[in-house]
A and B are shown apart, each in its own frame.
Chain A
């Protein structure tokens, strides 16, 4: 690698670390504010009429937004850790880290209500997220612009976003243009990106690249179309859960209208927020299933231990709550007993659960390994039951073809009969 390229890559890696630290700090510092904003923005009456509590509502939505941030951060960090010597992977790491935080940051630090410095930092994260997100659509998977003229689209996009985010009131700012024009820009830029990917898919990519990119492009497409999805809830979701509704009107209308709207709002927000996970999830599939960048082992371990930790935590919390209730009903006390019993149960569950989760993930993403294990098990059964050499040979050839998938298979048997 040339020294100048090496230096540029080092600078980009340093920038990624700085941006990641910035994102984590902005989100972490903003969590109490996000929680407060969420519960202040909903009508306590409709939450209560739904049989929920305000803290429960706030915790649920805050957790949902944090899940999106953490999922993007984890996948971004793994890609950075294993493949940051490649520009395209580094761009993906930037896009993941920044795009995952876009929605929570916009809620935590609404424009115009925070200091200019914070506004600038949030703008920086937004800018990097939106520029790298669209650029990936033009560059993925090999980092080259195909067709070459599409690089002009990316340069123009970076310029448009710069004015929109850092000088939102200027005439050059996309944000100051009429809504139809903004939509046109989004449609054109994402449409050309999707065209570029289609062209690459049909004309340029190898069969393996096609397998890898079809999943990644799904995520990229959704990330680029994200701005549409981001505004959609605000357009169609009811604004009924408004603490400003006078109580006399609330009581006059009755809770049904408000609880309908709150349920719909919760379902909508959950759906839209979880849809944001498709971006990292599609890359996870591409990496795990089609060995994109050969970092599947790390992702595999992350998935296994992430699922294992979550499941054990749920078992632990649920077990403690259940056993405490049971013991309390039987003996009038039992906090310590419940904790000890649940801890022992969790310890006993660790290995069987890990094996079970590993098997599920292998079955889902490591089909070949899973099928190979099954084929070998079947072959060992055949060998135990079969005595005819010809049949055993055929079975051996079959299992080798199924598991290793060679171009050609043959068996050489040494004749050990006397005189041969």
Chain B
């Protein structure tokens, strides 16, 4: 009896020690990756200040790149997680109010954050889908920055990031959660296509769709992931009119509702007819 208790104790102690070592390893590994600094090439982006550019920026931020989904409707940031095991993670306040980035960011800082997923101190960000936003054209990026700088200040001081064990494990299992690590920061960027009803422009507009529908828009694997938008996928029997109707009204061709908590059709539905047609054209090219 005593011997079995001794073995049980040894087993428990070994497990605890193993667990402690694993936690230490995970923590060190992730912290080292987040402490890395990225030396990035200077990218002169012209940030306009005219109303048309700001309006274009608003359209890109609110409708095409879904920034409000994470940063909140007023873009003043919001906490995502706050518990001991996942840690404290918030989407930043983008306005110039207290706790916001707007008051302290230079144009170059905005470029680094959006395009490279790297903060003003050259450390990598987490969650920010910069790997999708890397190909945003210079003019559109300038418009986005112009819009962000025009936001009314909102005071919202959010807690500093402090990753818990579960979040660190998630980062280990998915390197793209530190987008700076998966972006080729020196890759040539093709010029952004001109706005037109074209598959090329549709592809450009569908950049953020890849977050849920997968890199090739063939659908995600996780629960709640986007549908397969390629040929032979879930939209095979849809027409362009039905596609546009679905995104405008949240109603599929057979009458079923699209769940707005899964597919943000209320945002996408604000795209112009030409933009929707361009996306439709692009989807037709996918096999």
Q: Is B48 an interface residue (CB 8 A)?
A: no
A49 to B167, CA, bound (A): 17
Q: Given A236-B85, A252-B211, are A247 and B224 also a contact pair (CB < 8 Å)?
A: yes
Kindly list chain A residues whose C-beta atoms are within 8 Å of the C-beta of B167.
257
Q: Quick one: which of B86, B174, B212 contacts A248, CB cutoff 8 A?
A: B212
Q: Is A195 an interface residue (CB 8 A)?
A: no
Chain A hits for B169, CB < 8 A:
256-257, 260
B105 in the interface (beta carbon within 8 A): no
Q: How far is the CB of B221 from chain A (nearest CB, A)?
A: 8
Contacting residues of chain A (26-63) with chain B, CB-CB under 8 angstroms: 44-49
Give Cα A248–Cα B207 distance, bound, in whole angstroms. 13
Per the CB 8 Å criterion, the residue count for chain B at the interface is 33
Is there an interface contact between B170 and A254, defined as CB atoms closer than 8 Å?
yes
Please tell me if the beta carbons of B66 and A256 are within 8 angstroms of each other in the complex: no
Residue of A nearest to B168 (CB): A257
A46 touches B166 (CB 8 A): no
B69 touches A255 (CB 8 A): no
> Which of these binds chain A: B5-13, B183-191, B198-206, B259-267?
B259-267
Q: Are A238 and B166 in contact (CB under 8 A)?
A: yes
A323 within 8 A of B: no
* A236 cross-chain contacts in B, Cβ below 8 A: 83-85
Please name all residues of chain B whose beta carbon is closer than 8 Å to the beta carbon of A278 when the two chains form the complex.
Answer: none
Q: Are A49 and B223 in contact (CB under 8 A)?
A: yes
Q: Determine if B127 is an interface residue (Cβ-Cβ < 8 Å).
A: yes
Q: Give the distance in Å from the alpha carbon of A264 to the alpha carbon of B129 in the complex.
A: 27
Q: Is the CB of A251 within 8 A of B220?
A: yes
Partner of A250, one of B129, B177, B222: B222
Asked whether, in the complex, the Cβ of B81 is within 8 Å of the Cβ of A240, the reply is yes
Determine whether the beta carbon of B80 is less than 8 Å from that of A245: yes
A245-B80, A260-B169 are known contacts. Are A251 and B226 too (CB-CB below 8 A)?
yes
SS class, residues of chain A in contact with chain B: helix
Q: How far is the CA of A235 from the CA of B226 in the complex (A)?
A: 34
Q: Which residues of B contact A48 (CB under 8 A)?
A: 223-224
Q: How far is the CA of A417 from the CA of B220 in the complex (A)?
A: 99
Main secondary structure of the interface of B (DSSP, over half): loop
A249 vs B80: C-alpha distance when bound (angstroms) = 9
Which B residues are CB-close (under 8 A) to A239? Answer: 81-83
Chain A positions 246 through 287: 1 when the CB is less than 8 Å from some CB of chain B, otherwise 0: 111111111111001100100000000000000000000000
- Interface flag for B173 (CB, 8 Å): yes
Interface residue A225 (Cβ < 8 Å from any Cβ of B): no
**A353 contact set on B, CB distance < 8 A:** none
Q: Is the CB of B166 within 8 A of A250?
A: no
From A45, A47, A49, A238, residue with most partner B Cβ within 10 Å? A238
Name which residue of chain B comes closest to A248, CB basis.
Answer: B69
Contact check, B223 vs A46: say whether CB atoms are below 8 A apart: yes
> What 0/1 readout, one digit per residue, does chain B (209-245) give for beta carbons within 8 Å of chain A?
0011000000010111110000000000000000000
Are A255's CB and B84's CB within 8 A? no
> Which A residue sits closest to B225, measured CB to CB?
A251
**A225 smallest CB distance to B (angstroms):** 21
Is the beta-carbon distance between B166 and A251 smaller than 8 angstroms?
Answer: no
Q: A48-B223, A257-B166 are in contact. Are A237 and B173 (CB under 8 A)?
A: no
Residues A240 and B166 in contact, CB atoms below 8 Å apart: yes
The answer to whether B127 touches A249, judged by C-beta atoms less than 8 angstroms apart, is: yes
Kindly state the interface size class of chain A when it binds its partner. Answer: 20 to 34
Interface contact B223-A45, CB-CB below 8 Å:
yes
Please tell me if the beta carbons of A254 and B173 are within 8 angstroms of each other in the complex: yes
* Residues 202-256 of A at the B interface (beta carbon under 8 Å): 235-240, 243, 245-256
- The minimal Cβ–Cβ distance linking B263 to chain A, given in whole angstroms, is 7
State in angstroms the CA–CA spacing of A235 and B83 once bound together.
Answer: 8
B154 part of interface (Cβ distance < 8 Å): no
Q: Quick one: which of B246-287 are within 8 Å of A by CB? A: 261-264
B85 touches A248 (CB 8 A): no
Min Cβ gap A43→B in Å is 9
Known contacts A253-B127, A256-B169, A257-B169; is-contact A247 B261 (Cβ 8 Å): yes
| Of A235, A249, A257, most B-chain CB atoms within 10 Å | A257
B70 interfacial contact with A, CB 8 Å: yes
B77 → A minimal CB distance (Å): 13
A332 to chain B, nearest CB (A): 33
Nearest CB on B from A263, distance (A): 10
The docked-state distance in angstroms from the alpha carbon of A254 to that of B225 is 10
Q: Which of A276-304 contact B (CB under 8 A)?
A: none
Q: Which residues of A contact B127 (CB under 8 A)?
A: 249, 252-253
Chain B residues within an 8 Å CB radius of A260 = 166, 169-170
**In whole Å, how far is A267's beta carbon from the nearest beta carbon of chain B?**
12
Chain A contacts for B262, CB-based, 8 A = 247
A47's nearest neighbour on chain B, judged by CB, is: B223
User: In the complex, which residues of chain A have a beta carbon less than 8 angstroms from the beta carbon of B224?
Assistant: 44-45, 48, 247, 250-251
Contact code string B122-146 (vs A, CB < 8 Å = 1, else 0): 0000010100000000000000000
Instruction: Provide the bound-state CA to CA distance between A101 and B226, in Å.
Output: 42
A254 and B174 in contact, given A49-B222, A246-B69 (Cβ under 8 angstroms): yes
A264 to B262, CA, bound (A): 25
Question: What CA separation (Å) do A237 and B226 show in the bound complex?
Answer: 29
Q: How far is the CB of B49 from the nearest CB of chain A, in Å?
A: 30
Chain B residues with Cβ below 8 Å from A250 are: 222, 224
In the assembled complex, 28 residue pairs joining A and B whose CB atoms fall closer than 8 Å, in A order, are A45-B223, A45-B224, A48-B224, A236-B85, A237-B85, A238-B84, A238-B164, A238-B166, A240-B86, A247-B212, A247-B224, A247-B262, A248-B66, A248-B211, A248-B212, A249-B70, A249-B80, A249-B127, A250-B224, A251-B211, A251-B224, A252-B127, A252-B177, A254-B170, A254-B173, A256-B173, A257-B169, A261-B85
Contacts A45-B224, A48-B224, A247-B262 supplied; 9 other A-B pairs, CB < 8 Å: A44-B224, A238-B84, A239-B83, A250-B224, A251-B222, A252-B177, A253-B170, A255-B223, A264-B85
In the complex, the 3 A-B pairs of residues with the closest C-beta atoms, listed nearest first: A48-B223, A257-B170, A45-B223
